[in-house]
Structure 1
């Protein structure tokens, strides 16, 4: 620290890279700060080699590489690293942590007016959809919970630690929502040999009965207007079949946004259906995306959604 404040960045970096044990994390964080201040290509490469384990063959955790690229403003490399970290968290079943990494990177890219990679935005959407399931069940909206789970279950390979649990919950919520055909389809997947013995005994007989005596009726999904072209689109469809534009999703419901009922979080600026956000804030005072406290009086319904839609289309 002393060498860094004295602007002797080379000696500071050498000492910080020697930190081990309980001091290693703090040492690496300071080393990243040091290189950011130094703006020296030689020191940048020295720290990069250290983080990649070029000399000792011990690569450091990817989170440090992520911070390293961010501190240097290398947003493309940072976003690639963020995706890797999120994938590792996802595979370990740490879905909220994975979502938070992608959210942080999304906000950095947005602030720099840099294009957000599809893989990142799609993974963020899926992880957030998974997190929203509990929110909607808590709000006693089993139809929205079922639609969210339907989306997640169609991408269940991205949630390898909880495949059976997710499919089981999807079956249960689809049944409650009257989506019997969807419940049947996911029940049949659960009956496959690799999953059958992992089903919670509490639900196993019910799922087996669903497959033996199938009910194939399906409640119709609600429709609302595409915010871009005003054609009817299923609430949980995020691509308009008419104008072929991707539709931003509401951070409270996971459904696509509605032009005449639109707001954004005062803290993170992610969009939401205004009436749904107000309902949610009566139960919880934190934004479901950024987790910052939100005062309902600061929530403002957009009079003109055009600016927001143009901004979203350019990211």
Structure 2
């Protein structure tokens, strides 16, 4: 995590974020070639679901804190406590079995999870933050 962002992240969440961050393997993984392709939320270009950089529009795609996969335009929600982005269907699947947010460990009522959140406002905010850095 970059030092300039450390003050913006709540202490409860920083360890989990650090645990989520993944580094690409140095060798080609044969299973990675079979990874499902999902659309970039910016340009709809199909790319592997764990890829967070679109090779077509060159955008950095925010990732779901519950799964590590990049966000999907039509299946988006945010954490009610800290507003971290999530894939709505995957988040609901997790809280139905565990009843807590995987990021902040707060109890989550599945009825309170909204999948009608506009991803464009979130993506626009991400773009603004990236351009400031």
The answer, yes or no, to whether TM exceeds 0.5 is yes
- What number of residue pairs does the alignment pair up? 123
Q: Which moved more, 1:298-307 or 1:249-258?
A: 298-307
Q: Residue 86 of structure 2 aligns to a residue in which SS?
A: strand
Q: Runs of 4+ in structure 1 displaced over 4 angstroms?
A: 123-126
Q: Residue 127 of structure 1 aligns to a residue in which SS?
A: helix
Contact 1:240/1:247 (8 A) holds in 2: yes
When normalised by structure 2's length, the TM-score is: 0.78
Distance 1:297 1:273 in 2: 15
Which structure features the higher share of helix residues? 1
Number of the residue aligned with 1:225? 39
Aligned partner of 1:128 among 20, 32, 37: 20
Distance 1:240 1:297 in 2: 33
Structure 1 spans left out of the alignment, 5+ residues: 1-78, 84-101, 109-120, 130-150, 156-180, 183-216
Q: Residue 106 of structure 1 aligns to a residue in which SS?
A: coil
- 1:279 equivalent to 2:93? Answer yes
Whose Rg is larger? 1
Contact 2:35/2:48 (8 A) holds in 1: yes
Offset at residue 280 of structure 1 (A): 0.3
Structure 2 spans left out of the alignment, 5+ residues: none
- 1:106 equivalent to 2:3? Answer no
Q: Residue 241 of structure 1 aligns to a residue in which SS?
A: coil
When normalised by structure 1's length, the TM-score is: 0.35
Q: Quick one: structure 1 residues 124 and 229, their matched pair in 2 at CA, closer, same or farther if it must change by over 3 Å?
A: farther
What RMSD, in angstroms, separates the aligned Cα atoms of the two structures?
2.8
Contact 1:128/1:289 (8 A) holds in 2: no
Contact 2:77/2:117 (8 A) holds in 1: no
Q: Quick one: structure 1 residues 309 and 302, their matched pair in 2 at CA, closer, same or farther if it must change by over 3 Å?
A: farther
Which of structures 1 and 2 has the larger relative contact order (alpha carbons within 8 angstroms, sep 6+)?
Answer: 2
